[in-house]
Amino acid sequence: FLVLQVRLVMKVYSFVRENVPRVLSSVKDKSSTVPIPKISQYLYFLFAPTLIYRDNYPRNPTIRWGYVATKFAQVLGSLFYAYYIFVRLCIPQFRNSSQETFNLRGLVLCIFNSILPGVLILFLVFFAFLHCWLNAFAEMLRFADRMFYK
């Protein structure tokens, strides 16, 4: 949950940083219209896979639902594979250690035997979220500029 809160704070900061100077300059110039963004623009920005606020983003004309389904299938496959790794490689190590008396050697062996499965699970979670999940939402939002940060 902390990651989502940090993401939200970063998005709010970007929104404020982009819009406050425009509002202040229009107030300073005593303009009749103040350029306040619409709620729909802000909501789109909250769900778009970007941290830089713009009033408009390039958009694709259509949604490729097959691509979206493929990405969500990859997320599910990654989660099942992470579960399999966890059940087959991590849990047996700690199940055996819970029946023995505590000693430092056993703890160190359990930790070292869990490093490789833990790293594999970490890679799977990063792949599932950063690649599959965010690309699926970018496609559903018709976010066209996949090279936005260049």
Shared domain for 68 and 116, answered yes or no, is yes
Shared domain for 64 and 11, answered yes or no, is no
Handedness of CA 94, 97, 103, 108 (dihedral sign): negative
Shared domain for 73 and 45, answered yes or no, is no
Shared domain for 117 and 46, answered yes or no, is no
- Of 20-24, 66-70, 119-123, give the lowest mean pLDDT range: 20-24
Half-sphere exposure of 66 (CA within 13 A, CB side): 0
Which of 19, 42, 57 terminates a domain? The answer is: 57
At position 22, the amino acid (one-letter code) is R
Shared domain for 135 and 63, answered yes or no, is yes
Shared domain for 38 and 79, answered yes or no, is no
Shared domain for 70 and 48, answered yes or no, is no
The candidate with the shortest Cα–Cα distance to 95, out of 82, 72, 114, is: 114
- Encode pLDDT of 34-45 as tens digits: 778 889 999 999
Which of 10, 25, 57 terminates a domain? The answer is: 57
Q: Measured between alpha carbons, how far is 59 from 54 in angstroms, rounded to an integer?
A: 13
Shared domain for 93 and 126, answered yes or no, is yes
- Encode pLDDT of 50-103 as tens digits: 888 988 888 889 999 999 999 999 999 999 999 999 899 888 877 766 677 778
The domain total for the chain is 2
What pLDDT score was predicted for residue 60? 86
Q: Above 60 in pLDDT, residue 25?
A: yes
| Cβ–Cβ under 8 Å, residues 106 and 97 | yes
Shared domain for 79 and 144, answered yes or no, is yes
Which residue segment(s) compose the domain that 28 sits in? 1-57
Shared domain for 88 and 135, answered yes or no, is yes
Shared domain for 102 and 136, answered yes or no, is yes
